[in-house]
Amino acid sequence: MNQSTPPAWPQTERDGGRSGPTGAAVPPRQLGRRLGRPFFAREVTVVARDLLGLVLVEHTADGDVGVRLTEVEAYAGRDDPASHAFRRPTARNAVMFGPAGHLYTYFVYGMHWCANIVTGPDGDASAVLLRAGEVVLGQDIAQARRPAVSRTPLLARGPAGLATVLGLGRDASGKDLCGAVGRWEVFEGVPVPADRIAAGPRVGVAAAAERPLRFWDAGSPSVSVYRADGRVRRRVPGG
């Protein structure tokens, strides 16, 4: 997907317009179209790349919070030993087995929540971990949720930071991004040009560590710092 080619998947009309330049605040009526289930029901690496530049919005009583996605990781279910769904369905990972377009959240290290979006056909159990983004709506709300972060580009950096900014915790797991308008939705925003998308190993994953399944916007300051020297060995589980 690129900026010159219209998306090929069906979408739901929502307010029209396009989002602004990278890192700029986006008026609520210029988010573009809301994405429907066919977008998410595709192969996980295709969805992962296409999620870059899209805007995940949380509707709150105090206003909307929106994050333009700049870094993600693909987890290919039963074909991926780093995936939570690699061995079998459990009560924890059941949402990963479909349908696509649902949120899957989990608690990690006894401290943080991380969020994934389920992809692929039913039973595929693939998902995309949301690693980082830029706050483009509701910066005051985002800042209040992360008061210790002084630099705006860092508000939604890292899976835990992004989840905190968007209110993605225990209650978010299993929520449908594609049904009747709910608390969270995904809008088309402005996709990242293909020549600005980088790929490499996933962060902190021991199993299948060589697979280049992390994708990011090389032009965004919000992208996580990756230590390629191999000293980071704590596993950040993904979808």
Domain limits, the chain:
11-217
Strand pairing report for 11-12 and 55-60: unpaired
What tens-digit pLDDT sequence spans the chain (239 residues)?
343 333 433 444 333 333 333 444 565 556 899 999 999 999 999 999 999 999 999 999 999 999 999 999 998 867 776 666 666 777 777 888 879 999 999 998 778 999 999 999 998 889 999 999 999 999 999 999 999 998 999 999 999 999 999 999 999 999 999 988 789 999 999 889 999 999 999 888 878 888 999 999 999 999 988 755 433 333 343 44
Burial of 175 (0-12, 13-18, 19+ CB in 10 A): middle
- Say if domain 11-217 classifies as CATH 3.10.300.10: yes
- Are 199 and 232 in contact by the 8 Å Cβ rule? The answer is no
The amino acid sitting at 87 is R
d(CA 216, CA 192): 9
Whole-prediction pTM value? Answer: 0.83
Strand pairing report for 112-119 and 103-108: antiparallel
